[in-house]
Structure 1
Amino acid sequence: MLDALLIDEHRKVLDALHQLEETQLKILFVTDREGRLVGTLTDGDIRRWILGGGNLGGEMGDVCNRTPCVVHGDQAHEVLKNIMRSRQVTSVPVLDDDGRVNKVVFWEDLFTDDHPEAAEHEPLGVPVVVMAGGKGTRLAPFTSVLPKPLIPVGDRTAIQVILDSFAECGVDEFYLSVNYKSKLIQAYFEELSPDYRLHYVLEDEPLGTGGGLHVLSGVLDGDLIVTNCDVIIKADYRAILDHHRREKNDITMVVSLRNYDIPYGICDIVDNGQLCAMREKPSYNFLVNTGLYVLSSSILGMIPCQQFYHLTDLIDDVRQKGGRVGVFPISDTAWMDTGEWQQYCETMARLA
């Protein structure tokens, strides 16, 4: 257990993200080569690093919090409780005389209630809109028979997996924007008879990834989550919503950290075809739009009525009018895409 919480100070950001997801304990302890504690690392530290311009090649020693709350040697439970309450921390590493981590004491080890992160388990309290009107031509011939939202993912459909992930966070109201084979989608949910409430936004003709949202202007108040029907996001929805509100964003895009290694030498040339530089097997880092957004309902009125319009068009319009569009990074393994055959097969393999 302890080894899973330790990470070397020279490991990379992407490695840390994957390790955080595996442990699901929201914190790692960064050590030097002798095993001495250097600092602590949370997903929030990584987000601040990325949003501040840092890249996935950054080392833990540069990203971590170097002034963590620690204790030396065994301490009485009451002492540890007082430290956790006063410092507002949910875990404390216990160090030996050489500064190595002997064990980690978590809030749950000492307290039975009053967890400081209890708000994370409260219902999200926002509606979720699923854009489910596309034809899914990239998944033909499946989508010649079934609408894309009903493509099987394991023993459920893609849209059921998405809705269930939000329902687990307390969301009980969903809007499905539908067009292609919409009656099959409605019949599916009538048979399923879920506990949550479903509303249908019927598009007489395809309106893109954002056009169908116009009819919700004046209907919804506050924030809402919008997602494509072919993306499965394994992330902390509460953290995403809190980030959106803390930054006072009009739109928050959830983006995936992607690293691409080119297995060849890359040549740069000048106009006359002369080589000016060569980079051997370069690595590139990107923030990729996943298709999951948090929107303020106040911007829905900017969407034109009954016109083909993408959410990326709304992002451009909001920015041109001086609005705030932010991003929330997640790891590459937290985003699964079912919209194309290759990605669909990869998602099925990961869920197997």
Structure 2
Amino acid sequence: MKALFLAGGKGTRLRPLTDHLPKPMVPVMGRPLLERSIEALKECGVNKVVFSTGYRADDIEKYFSSSEFGVNIHYVCEDIPLGTGGAIKNCADYFNDTFIIFNSDIVSNIDLNDMVAFHKKKRADVTIAATRVQNPSSYGVIEYDEFGFATTFTEKPKPGEEKSDFINAGVYVFNPKVLDLIPSNRVVSVEKETFPALLQNGYKIAVYRGGTYWIDIGTPEKYMRVHADIFSGLCKIPENNFLTNRIYGLERIQIHDTARVIGPVWFGDDVRIGANVTVGPNVVVGSGFESGRGCVISDSILWNNVSVGSGVSITKSVVTAGVQNRKRYSVRKYHLLPGKQTASGHIISTYGRKDCHKLSQDKKIKILFLSTYPPRACGIATFTQDLICELEKTGQVDTSVAAVSDSEYSYPPRVKFTIEQQNEEAYAEAAEKINSSGFDLLMVEHEYGIFGGKWGKFLLNLTSRLKIPYFVTLHTVLPNPAESQKEIMSTLAAKSRKIITMASNTVDILQNTYGIERTKIEVVHHGVPEYPSTERDTLKKELGLTGRFIVSTFGLISPGKGLEYGIEAIARVAKKHPDILYFILGQTHPVVKRKDGEKYREKLERTVKNFGLEEKVRFVNRYLKIEEIIRYLQLSDVYMTPYLGKDQAVSGTLAYAAGYGRVIISTPYLYAEEMLKDGRGLLADFRSPATLAERIEEVMTHPEQQEEMERRTQELGKTMYWGEVSLHYLHLFQAELQRGKEPPA
């Protein structure tokens, strides 16, 4: 199959990055965008490529002539710009069968194999990839019928006059016969002229709506955005997943013992990092980079062969190839031109300078958290407390809490006011307090059960009245919600700045089930507290447990935890392995206890007695401090979650176990499937003591497998410590507040 790249534009809006480089050649994670696009096309069988070039055409040809890229490449250079349609017509001689056309300034995850198959299934003459955006007035808008065929094209409609929120994504499948309708030797816009003409002449234009990520890198801001999206996991690149491997290329660099790298960071080749340098988070370091002592670099993209001297600080900047910065100097939100040397106090060049400081860099962000909070015994309360503590350590935020309460609690001073959970009027009153209290943003920790009304509907009384931006962290994502649950979530998301989920396998659910825009969804790990590591054998010796194989489960106990199945699994294993010991750690969930007392715990205790496991199962019936939880995890050989709910989208207890590199055996609920993939643990069937027992025995009898799973889990766990996670939240808040503090309309 063949493909055509439209690569002739000047990239005017991307200046100054394109002053010395054609737009398709700007590096994305160290490799030209055009090269990355070719790699994607090769996956769907493309073996011949035509580049329609114009501006700085020699740069493109020189690069692609110097190496083997696995495709045949032809070059057609425009003497004068011909527009998108004219460029396609200018290359018509190369195409005698169905072919793909690709605008060279887009990054997307459109499944090209699927798009071509869709084109053939529809028997279309042209298929256009379409993507949904929040503000379609800046793009070419596509209307289509119930059969998936285009009916109308509108280029950049006025705001409020858009009849569709699907836009032309700049990827097409063409049958060559349609080329006959494009005039030769003149400027033609495929969007404004060719597509309407095809419809008028009865040609079938199918609209393909696949793909979950799309961005055109037409401006420096969008260029930086695509890198941020790659780091956050929103956009994927083949060589690395930054959700699981936070630092790419570390083995290829020379780094001083006193330097610090905070992921996510991408390193090129032949990089030298000096003493007391801090790199990261969210930094791309191109090949040939060299730094002096004491530099601080964050949220920036450094192209190849950049050199900086001692004491240089760079943040939120793009530094292009060949820049030398030799003096102690702070660079913030600037683009540095190649071949220049900065002098103290001298700004080389800026982009969007008037928008750089909507939020003062010296002013702390005032954040109010809406959540449960200790001493209320609740996993979300602990999560909120941990996140706040780590954010405060950055010195860049002031945090307060509006605590949702189901009883009387003695709260710490950080809790500024409380909301009575089942008092509907209290939510509207809380909104007025928030609006008048000078907060920059509200962070909502969401779980249906912690807010009042059916499925927490009272929360909408608060968010609908807010005059400041709000963010939502989801602690539950239901794949098959009731209509009322779906309506609440969709309404909550509509006016939020970002919806934060803790597992990437929930992103499609949020998009397809709740209709949330992909660009609004951010994946951020559940945080894990970082404590000094103690050897497992040392802890076992201290506790008189040498020689025992330890399995543990911790958390607030409730019937949904499926612990009776875990106990029966231990009974099965103990027949062959009498050295096994199972710790069930934690008190009964307060809500369960108020309703049913200790019935469930008593049932578990009877189960232990019936199986004769008094020496094999130990209960620790209290709310454990974090230090105790970590100690038990470090003691454990296996952490087990035999939970019954397949839709559970996050588990703080499983996150903790992953953070400390334990082998995890779990039933296959959503979060477990995400965390245990790639050899990081073992899944067992729901309500199946037999398969739980099989998985435990598999670990007990294969120590080398246990060691490998622990290694893989620890690699992921290192990215989940609260220090890393809190920085992800901080940069998310900072980036969104740069857009201003007005909530969405």
Task: Pick the TM interval, shorter chain.
Answer: 0.5 to 0.7
- Equivalences for 1:175-324 in 2 at 5 Å? 175-259=50-134, 286-312=165-191, 313-324=193-204
For residue 228 of structure 2, what is the aligned residue in structure 1?
A: 349
For residue 161 of structure 1, what is the aligned residue in structure 2?
A: 36
Residue by residue over 1:13-47, the C-alpha shift from the partner in whole angstroms, topping out at 9 and shown as x without a partner, is xxxxxxxxxxxxxxxxxxxxxxxxxxxxxxxxxxx
Distance in 2 between residues matched to 1:153 and 1:218, nearest whole Å: 31
Matched residue SS, 2:202: coil
Instruction: Give, in angstroms, the shift of residue 233 of structure 1.
Output: 2.2
Kindly indicate whether the alpha-carbon contact (under 8 Å) linking 1:176 and 1:199 is maintained by their aligned counterparts in 2: yes
Structure with more of its chain in strand, by fraction: 1
Distance in 1 between residues matched to 2:94 and 2:73, nearest whole Å: 15
Q: How many residues align?
A: 205
Q: Which amino acid aligns with 1:257?
A: R
**Identity in percent:** 30
Kindly indicate whether the alpha-carbon contact (under 8 Å) linking 1:230 and 1:338 is maintained by their aligned counterparts in 2: yes
Distance in 1 between residues matched to 2:49 and 2:228, nearest whole Å: 28
Structure 2 gaps of 5+ residues are 136-162, 232-745
Kindly indicate whether the alpha-carbon contact (under 8 Å) linking 2:15 and 2:219 is maintained by their aligned counterparts in 1: no
Residue by residue over 1:86-105, the C-alpha shift from the partner in whole angstroms, topping out at 9 and shown as x without a partner, is xxxxxxxxxxxxxxxxxxxx
Matched residue SS, 2:87: helix
* Structure number with bigger Rg: 2
Residue by residue over 1:270-327, the C-alpha shift from the partner in whole angstroms, topping out at 9 and shown as x without a partner, is xxxxxxxxxxxxxx96112111111111111221112111221211111111111120
Instruction: Give, in angstroms, the shift of residue 243 of structure 1.
Output: 1.1
For residue 336 of structure 1, what is the aligned residue in structure 2?
A: 215
Matched residue SS, 1:145: coil
- Equivalences for 1:139-154 in 2 at 5 Å? 139-154=14-29
Kindly indicate whether the alpha-carbon contact (under 8 Å) linking 2:52 and 2:91 is maintained by their aligned counterparts in 1: no
Distance in 2 between residues matched to 1:139 and 1:258, nearest whole Å: 21
Distance in 2 between residues matched to 1:349 and 1:174, nearest whole Å: 29
Matched residue SS, 2:52: strand
Matched residue SS, 1:210: helix
Matched residue SS, 1:144: coil
Kindly indicate whether the alpha-carbon contact (under 8 Å) linking 1:216 and 1:300 is maintained by their aligned counterparts in 2: no
Distance in 1 between residues matched to 2:122 and 2:213, nearest whole Å: 22
For residue 8 of structure 1, what is the aligned residue in structure 2?
A: none
Instruction: Give, in angstroms, the shift of residue 184 of structure 1.
Output: 0.8
Match of 1:137 among 12, 16, 31: 12
Instruction: Give, in angstroms, the shift of residue 343 of structure 1.
Output: 2.0
Q: Which amino acid aligns with 1:131?
A: L
Instruction: Give, in angstroms, the shift of residue 348 of structure 1.
Output: 1.2
Q: Which amino acid aligns with 1:244?
A: H
Distance in 2 between residues matched to 1:298 and 1:162, nearest whole Å: 25
Instruction: Give, in angstroms, the shift of residue 131 of structure 1.
Output: 0.2
- Equivalences for 1:3-42 in 2 at 5 Å? none
Q: 1:207 to 1:200 in 2, by over 3 A?
A: same
Structure 1 gaps of 5+ residues are 1-125, 261-283
Q: Which amino acid aligns with 2:174?
A: L
Match of 2:205 among 314, 322, 325: 325
Instruction: Give, in angstroms, the shift of residue 340 of structure 1.
Output: 2.0
Kindly indicate whether the alpha-carbon contact (under 8 Å) linking 2:2 and 2:47 is maintained by their aligned counterparts in 1: yes
- Equivalences for 1:77-116 in 2 at 5 Å? none
When structure 1 is superposed on structure 2, of 307-316 and 209-218 the one drifting more is: 209-218
For residue 655 of structure 2, what is the aligned residue in structure 1?
A: none
Kindly indicate whether the alpha-carbon contact (under 8 Å) linking 1:212 and 1:306 is maintained by their aligned counterparts in 2: no
Q: Which amino acid aligns with 2:166?
A: L
Q: Which amino acid aligns with 2:209?
A: P
Matched residue SS, 2:174: strand
Instruction: Give, in angstroms, the shift of residue 218 of structure 1.
Output: 4.7
Kindly indicate whether the alpha-carbon contact (under 8 Å) linking 2:3 and 2:50 is maintained by their aligned counterparts in 1: yes
Instruction: Give, in angstroms, the shift of residue 350 of structure 1.
Output: 1.1
Kindly indicate whether the alpha-carbon contact (under 8 Å) linking 2:111 and 2:210 is maintained by their aligned counterparts in 1: no
Q: Which amino acid aligns with 1:343?
A: K
Distance in 2 between residues matched to 1:175 and 1:340, nearest whole Å: 25
Distance in 1 between residues matched to 2:213 and 2:17, nearest whole Å: 25
Residue by residue over 1:74-116, the C-alpha shift from the partner in whole angstroms, topping out at 9 and shown as x without a partner, is xxxxxxxxxxxxxxxxxxxxxxxxxxxxxxxxxxxxxxxxxxx
Kindly indicate whether the alpha-carbon contact (under 8 Å) linking 2:21 and 2:56 is maintained by their aligned counterparts in 1: yes
Q: Which amino acid aligns with 1:212?
A: A
Distance in 2 between residues matched to 1:192 and 1:208, nearest whole Å: 29
Q: Which amino acid aligns with 1:171?
A: V
Kindly indicate whether the alpha-carbon contact (under 8 Å) linking 2:101 and 2:173 is maintained by their aligned counterparts in 1: yes
For residue 116 of structure 1, what is the aligned residue in structure 2?
A: none
Matched residue SS, 1:128: strand
Structure with greater contact order relative to length (CA < 8 Å, sep ≥ 6): 1
Instruction: Give, in angstroms, the shift of residue 239 of structure 1.
Output: 1.3
